[in-house]
Amino acid sequence: MSDLAPMRPQIYTDPRPKEHFDRFHARARSREPDWAYELTRIITSIYAYTLLRTRAIDVEKVPRSGPVILAPNHFSFMDHFLVGCYLRRKIRFMAKSQLFKLPMQIIYTHGGVFPVRRGAADEETFITAKTLLERGSAVLMYPEGGRSRTGSLSERARRGIGRLALETGVPVVPIAVYGSSHVRNWKRLQFPQVTVAYGDPIRYERIESPDRELQQAVADEVLAEIKRLYSALAQSGRRAALHGARAARRAARRRPVEAEPAARR
């Protein structure tokens, strides 16, 4: 018997036409998140800090301002909240279009979330993401696409994050969320211990129209870094990882400030 609580059957495609979602994209591009974001953040952060005992490692690696793409692995509906609860800046999330139904679409739209139509060539999602990055926002995008249903990281990334990184040239922060595969076990009154480790930002040279092979190569490189962070947590455990991060910060304070690394080609 699996130690993971079962998930609902996945509904991959949304029968509603593209035009149905235009208003959600228009709002996301023109307005900042409001009361819904702060309310949701308070509720989910309390849950994360207490029952999930969530702790963050190297959260200072996320730029405090300016455009950035946050790239975590994806096991749970809580992942975007877990990534954001230790950050002081608001994150703009993508969510599958099937979630944009009353009453929850009120929370999503006021919270700054925008839809992605899975299984479709959804150009509007990229336009919205790039518009937000041009305004200096933090945009979260999962390299794996949808949630893992096995509790394991995907073998290969979806190339969408490679395209976004290359077409914008903004830094990508790989993030490992460890333990969230068991979040849905709350139905069994089981609550995992969750650790969120933030990696060094990766920046790629901006390319206006990168080909599919290059998009995939960049996406796979980002996922490889997520796997490295995740494996380190699995092997060393949270206590050792936190101790190592503190030691690294102390050592960094004693070193001269280094210039920002050049964009990768």
pLDDT tens per residue, range 218-247: 999 999 999 999 999 999 888 888 888 888
Asked whether residue 209 is assigned to any structural domain, the reply reads yes
Asked whether residue 239 is assigned to any structural domain, the reply reads yes
Write the pLDDT tens digit of every residue in 159-172: 999 999 999 999 99
Running DSSP on this structure, what letter comes out for residue 150? S
Q: What is the pLDDT of residue 69?
A: 98
16: left (phi over 0), alpha (psi -120 to 50) or beta: beta
Q: What is the pLDDT of residue 9?
A: 64
3 state SS for 7-58: CCCCCCCCCCCHHHHHHHHHHHHHCCCCHHHHHHHHHHHHHHHCCCCCEEEC
Burial class (CB in 10 A: 0-12, 13-18, 19+), 208: exposed
Q: What is the pLDDT of residue 240?
A: 86
Q: What is the pLDDT of residue 1?
A: 42
Asked whether residue 11 is assigned to any structural domain, the reply reads no
Write the pLDDT tens digit of every residue in 49-89: 999 999 999 999 999 999 999 999 999 989 999 999 999 99
In the predicted structure, residue 118 carries a pLDDT above the cut 50:
yes
Asked whether residue 264 is assigned to any structural domain, the reply reads no
Instruction: State the Cα–Cα distance between residues 141 and 152, nearest whole angstrom.
Output: 18
**Residue 30: which CATH number?**
3.40.1130.10
List C-alpha distances in Å: 43 to 32, 81, 88, 104, 109: 20, 10, 16, 15, 18
The answer to which of 3-7, 182-186, 217-221 has the lowest mean pLDDT is 3-7
| Averaged pLDDT score across all residues of the chain | 91
Q: What percent of the chain has pLDDT over 90?
A: 74
Cβ count near 164 (within 10 Å): 23
Containing structural domain, residue 62: 26-254
Structure tokens at 77: 């509906």
CB 93 within 8 A of CB 112: yes
Average of per-residue pLDDT across 165-181 = 96
Instruction: State the Cα–Cα distance between residues 72 and 166, nearest whole angstrom.
Output: 18
Asked whether residue 8 is assigned to any structural domain, the reply reads no
Structure tokens at 170: 């903004």
List C-alpha distances in Å: 27 to 18, 23, 187: 15, 6, 35
Cβ count near 247 (within 10 Å): 10
Asked whether residue 16 is assigned to any structural domain, the reply reads no
Q: What is the pLDDT of residue 8?
A: 67
| Count of the separate structural domains present in the chain | 1
**Among the ranges 2-11, 151-160, 201-210, which has the highest mean pLDDT value?**
201-210
Instruction: State the Cα–Cα distance between residues 236 and 244, nearest whole angstrom.
Output: 10
CB 199 within 8 A of CB 91: no
Whether cis (ω within 30° of 0) applies to the bond prior to 103 is yes
CB 103 within 8 A of CB 208: no
pLDDT higher at 251 or 124? 124
Asked whether residue 263 is assigned to any structural domain, the reply reads no
CB 80 within 8 A of CB 187: no
Residue whose structure tokens are 């993030």: 175
Asked whether residue 6 is assigned to any structural domain, the reply reads no
